[in-house]
């Protein structure tokens, strides 16, 4: 059985019907916006060489934003029968009466034109569970043959969304995605190997390559030595570190909130505030927000339906521009909307959600980076990253599932896991070489296209007992 | 008439009949209705959202060899039949790869349970909540302050559970949470102070928190922190505040006693655990002062891990995980308990809305000790007091941890002295808990709520409870941010 959803009514058609229903009930709200989101996923999750958590999920969410004057309110429901839609709308309208005025409220956005992207791949949704279980079964079989335990997930999913409003806006998106994340381990996790592949079209997936990579790393990662903490040159695998790179755009200092937005910058809430034009990374690094990149994910419009622009946030290491919105353009004379608003009302501020991190010059493969490392560590996965200090973006976290000592361009031996305390800004001032960026959607954060790197002086502060 | 319970009964009948016709060894269905209202203020900008998510999650076992799970929010009988068949199909596929499923016995329960609340948070007007947040965030205005945040979250969760063994359980849970955060910029960069609490309570929690009263106190502290000295790296005795001890328990005890991690089922994402079954009853995890319970019962308090039955119909229980420092128990499920010789699950299967239940913490709490807080300070000649978490990180087997706190104080000759910005401490879990020599008593013990624990693929978010009191640890590695 595949996870393809046999719908008699398309999402846009259903959305228009709901929009008409909302109009009937939204008395007292001159403006309203309807968002209808549908998601479905199939996740074959396995551990200990058993397929123990096979899951199919499906849900839909209707979100209604109503506005009157400078007041607005939002209510959301998964119940799409008329009586519940009525209740949802009436609750939102009732909240309008008591909500405080939002000083940033702007009339809803009218009709827009969007650049088309094709992110929906039928095969991803129609691939049978049996076929996918076959991929998992082969990985488990390979692990068993090598006296290892396989664990991980092979997941495929679809999301589809529509925004309609009373000003004539209609924004529609659908896309597919998935990932195959695999760990092979033994000796209660003292010997582990990890591999990951992400895809929009499941035809891109090479499950045998994922299995072989996890196996090779697990075989190599046996009988680790302990190295003393300190500064090491490192090669970081491109799939190793989404969570760490996420901290480019998020800070804990004001409660978890996005950083590259115009409002946060101007209000002084961002670690970047006051630093436009300042060199914050190495001159061989650029940071873009580019929803149109062929490997990117998600819609080409923001939370209120404004078309997204491609942004160069950091160019040659210099903080160059910020994510902005209609609200910022209205607040600040020097701001233009760029299509980076979150769903409204949004007191947090704007955020880039389609990051592309690039290095200048010719790229290398990960094996070439290892070949060019005289002495240092190869890191295949980083884990549990948190902010220690916001302005320098000092982060702490751990290595896991395979850290290897490299000498004269060759992997020599595995080492025990290490804790790091490292400034992200300093790290990206010390990068010498990059791989091509890869898509990593497994983290669940923004769409990240991230490179592997060879960098100097990565700071490790302590060692784990395994 | 209760609509969630009635709909649950009707749909569960369809689900269980469908599973039975397919000769499923076991089946259960949960209908879960979740209503969440979030009211927020950031600086001058208000936001309100109310969401209502109703859906059904269905688990089935095929020939004691394969689990299948499917969920849906289309709640007509035909779709429930279809979703049950989908779960059965996945279970047959899983059985081919070869699992071994043996469910520990659990009595049949037929019950209705409503969590206690004095004031239903969802019936308190949004206007009242905005007033509280506006007052609190206005009270945090000051030169140098760059962000003032406040949030009140009101949640109602109704669950109807039915399984093929005859259990029929309806639960109605009310949770409330609130948070205020103030950030300021000064010579030492950006500093933060915050206060939050989440519990299985009604709006009385917000009334008791006195957010407006705390606003100016936190603001004064955060401004002082922007001018305060940092901490040099070294070793020191530390006294850790109750809220931070709660998170320490969560990360370094709660997660490693999750039996699915221990057995390797979470190795790819959440990780494994250093508390392997061969250590059970043997490992001296901590000092004799360390007693940690897993307690979902109401008698423990109204925490985010309090309920009457877990999400596979097992009655809430109280068990020790660590007793006098020794590892004695795990958080378990019906499918895992027998692997460590336990004939009954202790009821730790929980799910985010109507997703797949997995082993989660309930209330995992450090039991209070004997010390009055003032006596503990007086007894400390040279140490650091660390208060309120800023950041937390721990390795995948839960050995090597590092925590950063929002503020600290030097303790000299039994008195609290100089303020310190961004103090941090780190260690290896069993070494750290064995360095514990004093736990404060019930007078300063609080059942803290952690609302955002992530686990599972696709990831689920769960609220957990952690009772803790200020606690002292000897000769710990400390450092500054």
Q: Answer whether residue A5 shows pLDDT above 60.
A: no
- What 3-state class would DSSP assign to A240? helix
Q: 């009655």: which residue's tokens? A: B315
**Cβ–Cβ of A78/B52 closer than 8 Å?**
yes
Q: 């309570």: which residue's tokens? A: B201
Burial B8-47 (b: 16+ CB within 10 A, else e): beebbebbbebbeebebbbbbbbbbbbbbbbbbbbbbbbb
Binned at pLDDT 50, 70 and 90, residue B64 comes out as: very high
pLDDT in tens, A325-375: 999 999 999 999 999 999 999 999 999 999 999 999 999 999 999 999 999
Average pLDDT over residues A48-59: 93
Q: What pLDDT, on the 0 to 100 scale, is given for residue A253?
A: 87
Q: What pLDDT, on the 0 to 100 scale, is given for residue B98?
A: 72
User: What are the residue boundaries of the structural domains of chain B, listed by start?
Assistant: 3-225, 234-480
Q: Answer whether residue A3 shows pLDDT above 70.
A: no
pLDDT in tens, B413-465: 999 999 999 999 999 999 999 999 999 999 999 999 999 999 999 999 999 99
CA A45 to chain centroid = 20
Give chain A's mean pLDDT: 95
CB atoms within 10 A of CB B131: 14
The answer to whether B83 faces chain A, any CB pair under 8 Å, is yes
Q: What pLDDT, on the 0 to 100 scale, is given for residue B2?
A: 59
Task: For strands B364-366 and B292-295, give the pairing.
Answer: antiparallel
Average pLDDT over residues B302-316: 98
The answer to whether A127 faces chain B, any CB pair under 8 Å, is no
Nearest-by-Cβ selection for A130 from B40, B48, B93? B93
* DSSP 8-state assignment for residue A255: B
Interface of B with A in 8-47 (CB under 8 A): 40-47
Identify any residues that bridge with B407 across adjacent strands, giving them in sequence order.
Answer: B387, B421
Q: How far is B191 from chain A (nearest CA, A)?
A: 7
Cβ-Cβ contacts under 8 Å, A91 against chain B: 50
**Cβ–Cβ of B147/A47 closer than 8 Å?**
no
How far, in Å, CA of B479 to CA of B234, rounded? 6
Share of chain A above pLDDT 70, in %: 98
CA B288 to chain centroid = 25
User: What are the residue boundaries of the structural domains of chain A, listed by start?
Assistant: 11-213, 223-466
Average pLDDT over residues A65-73: 96
Nearest-by-Cβ selection for B90 from A54, A346, A421? A54
pLDDT in tens, B175-232: 999 999 999 999 988 999 999 999 999 999 999 999 999 999 999 999 999 999 999 9
Average pLDDT over residues B246-251: 98
Q: Which of A100, A198, A210, A382 to mutate to test the interface with B (most CBs of B within 10 A)?
A: A100
pLDDT in tens, B4-48: 999 999 999 999 999 999 999 999 999 999 999 999 999 989 999
Q: Answer whether residue A1 shows pLDDT above 60.
A: no
Q: What pLDDT, on the 0 to 100 scale, is given for residue B1?
A: 46
The answer to whether B147 faces chain A, any CB pair under 8 Å, is yes
Q: Answer whether residue A6 shows pLDDT above 50.
A: no
∠A65-A71-A73 over CA atoms, to 5°?
A: 30
The answer to whether B66 faces chain A, any CB pair under 8 Å, is yes
Give chain B's mean pLDDT: 97
Pull the structure tokens for residue A428: 């990206």
CATH architecture of the domain B3-225 equals 2-Layer Sandwich (3.30)
**Cβ–Cβ of A77/B51 closer than 8 Å?**
yes
Q: Answer whether residue A324 shows pLDDT above 80.
A: yes
pLDDT in tens, A85-111: 999 999 999 999 888 999 999 999 999
Pull the structure tokens for residue B360: 């989660």
Q: How far is B327 from chain A (nearest CA, A)?
A: 17
Average pLDDT over residues B364-373: 98
**Cβ–Cβ of B97/A444 closer than 8 Å?**
no
Share of chain B above pLDDT 90, in %: 98
How far, in Å, CA of A82 to CA of A105, rounded? 29
Binned at pLDDT 50, 70 and 90, residue B400 comes out as: very high
Interface of A with B in 167-206 (CB under 8 A): 181-183, 185, 188-189, 192, 194
Share of chain A above pLDDT 90, in %: 94
| pTM (2 d.p.) | 0.97
The CATH class of A11-213 is: alpha beta
pLDDT in tens, A374-411: 999 999 999 999 999 999 999 999 999 999 999 999 99
Task: For strands B446-455 and A285-289, give the pairing.
Answer: unpaired
Check if the beta carbon of residue B106 is closer than 8 Å to that of residue B314.
yes
ipTM of the complex: 0.95
Of A92-101, A158-167, B314-323, B388-397, least confident by mean pLDDT is A92-101
């Amino acid at each position: 059985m595949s996870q393809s959803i046999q719908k008699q009514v398309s999402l846009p058609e259903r959305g228009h019907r709901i929009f008409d229903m909302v109009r009937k009930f939204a008395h007292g709200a001159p403006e309203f916006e309807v968002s209808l989101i549908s998601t479905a996923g199939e996740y074959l999750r396995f551990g200990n060489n058993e397929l123990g958590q096979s899951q199919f999920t499906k849900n839909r969410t209707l979100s209604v934003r109503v506005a009157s004057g400078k007041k607005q309110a939002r209510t959301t429901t998964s119940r799409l029968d008329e009586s519940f839609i009525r209740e949802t709308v009436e609750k939102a309208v009732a909240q309008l009466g008591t909500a405080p005025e939002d000083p940033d409220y702007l009339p809803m956005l009218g009709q827009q034109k969007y650049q088309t992207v094709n992110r929906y791949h039928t095969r991803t949704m129609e691939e049978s569970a049996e076929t996918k279980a076959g991929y998992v079964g082969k990985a488990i079989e390979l692990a068993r043959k090598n006296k290892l335990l396989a664990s991980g997930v092979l997941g495929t999913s679809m999301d589809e969304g529509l925004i309609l409003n009373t000003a004539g806006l209609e924004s529609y998106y659908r896309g597919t995605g998935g990932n195959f994340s695999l760990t092979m381990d033994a000796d209660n996790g003292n010997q582990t190997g990890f591999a990951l592949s992400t895809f929009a079209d499941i035809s891109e997936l090479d499950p045998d390559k994922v299995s072989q990579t996890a196996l090779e790393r697990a075989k190599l990662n046996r009988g680790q030595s302990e190295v003393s903490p300190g500064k090491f040159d490192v090669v970081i695998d491109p799939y190793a570190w989404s969570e760490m790179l996420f901290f480019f755009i998020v800070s804990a200092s004001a409660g978890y909130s996005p950083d590259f937005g115009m409002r946060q910058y101007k209000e002084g809430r961002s670690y970047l505030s006051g630093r436009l034009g300042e060199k914050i990374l190495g001159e061989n690094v650029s940071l873009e927000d580019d929803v149109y990149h062929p490997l990117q994910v998600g819609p080409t419009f923001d939370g209120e339906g404004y078309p997204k622009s491609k942004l160069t946030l950091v160019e040659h290491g210099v903080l160059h521009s910020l994510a902005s919105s209609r609200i910022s353009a209205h607040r600040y004379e020097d701001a233009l909307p760029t299509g980076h608003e979150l769903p409204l009302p949004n007191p947090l501020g704007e955020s880039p959600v389609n990051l592309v991190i690039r290095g200048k010059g010719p790229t290398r493969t990960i094996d070439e980076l290892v070949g060019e490392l005289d002495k240092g560590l190869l890191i295949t996965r980083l884990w549990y990253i948190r902010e220690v200090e916001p302005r320098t973006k000092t982060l702490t976290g751990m290595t896991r599932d395979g850290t290897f000592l490299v000498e004269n361009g060759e992997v020599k031996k595995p080492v025990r896991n290490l804790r790091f305390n490292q400034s992200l800004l300093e790290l990206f001032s010390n990068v010498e070489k990059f791989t091509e960026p890869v898509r990593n959607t497994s983290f669940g954060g923004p769409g990240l296209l991230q490179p592997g790197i060879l960098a100097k002086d990565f700071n490790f502060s302590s060692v784990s007992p395994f | 008439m209760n609509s969630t319970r009635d709909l649950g009964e009707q749909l569960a009948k369809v689900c269980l009949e469908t599973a039975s016709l397919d000769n499923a060894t076991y089946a259960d269905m949960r209908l879960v209705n979740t209503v969440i209202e979030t009211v927020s203020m950031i600086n001058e900008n208000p936001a309100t959202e109310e969401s209502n998510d109703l859906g059904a999650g269905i688990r089935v076992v095929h020939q004691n060899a394969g689990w299948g799970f499917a969920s849906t929010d289309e709640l007509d009988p035909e779709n429930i039949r279809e979703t049950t068949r989908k779960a059965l199909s996945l279970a047959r596929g899983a059985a081919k790869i070869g699992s071994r499923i043996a469910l520990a016995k659990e009595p049949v329960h037929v019950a209705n349970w409503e969590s206690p609340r004095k004031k239903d948070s969802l019936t308190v007007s949004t206007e009242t909540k905005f007033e509280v947040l506006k007052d609190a965030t206005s009270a945090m205005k000051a030169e140098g302050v760059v962000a003032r945040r406040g949030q009140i979250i009101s949640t109602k969760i109704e669950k109807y559970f039915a399984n093929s063994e005859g259990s029929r359980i309806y639960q109605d849970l009310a949770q409330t949470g609130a948070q205020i955060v103030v950030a300021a910029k000064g010579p030492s960069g950006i500093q933060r102070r915050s206060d939050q609490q989440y519990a299985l309570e009604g709006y009385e929690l917000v009334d008791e928190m006195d957010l407006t009263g705390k606003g100016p106190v936190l603001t004064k502290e955060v401004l002082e922190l922007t001018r305060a000295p940092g901490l040099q790296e070294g070793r020191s005795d530390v006294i850790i505040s109750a809220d931070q001890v709660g998170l320490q328990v969560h990360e370094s005890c709660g997660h490693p006693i999750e039996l699915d991690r221990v057995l390797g089922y979470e190795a790819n994402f959440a990780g494994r655990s250093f508390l392997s079954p061969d250590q059970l009853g043997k490992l001296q995890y901590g000092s004799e002062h360390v007693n940690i319970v897993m307690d979902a019962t109401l008698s423990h308090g109204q925490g985010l891990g309090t309920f009457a039955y877990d999400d596979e119909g097992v009655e809430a229980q109280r068990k020790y995980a660590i007793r006098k420092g020794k590892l004695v128990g795990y958080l378990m499920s019906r499918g895992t308990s027998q692997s460590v010789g336990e004939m009954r699950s202790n009821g730790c299967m929980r799910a985010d809305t109507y997703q797949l239940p997995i082993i989660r913490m309930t209330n995992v709490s450090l039991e209070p000790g004997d010390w009055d807080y003032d006596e503990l300070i007086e007894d400390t000649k040279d140490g650091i007091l660390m208060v309120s978490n800023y950041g937390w990180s721990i390795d995948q087997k839960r050995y090597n941890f590092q925590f950063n706190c929002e503020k600290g104080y030097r303790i000299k000759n039994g008195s609290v002295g100089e303020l310190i910005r961004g103090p941090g401490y780190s260690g290896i879990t069993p070494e750290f808990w064995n360095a514990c020599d004093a736990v404060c008593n019930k007078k300063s013990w609080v059942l803290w709520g952690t609302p955002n624990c992530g686990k599972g693929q696709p990831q689920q978010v769960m609220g957990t409870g952690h009772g803790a009191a200020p606690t002292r640890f000897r000769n710990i590695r400390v450092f500054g941010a």
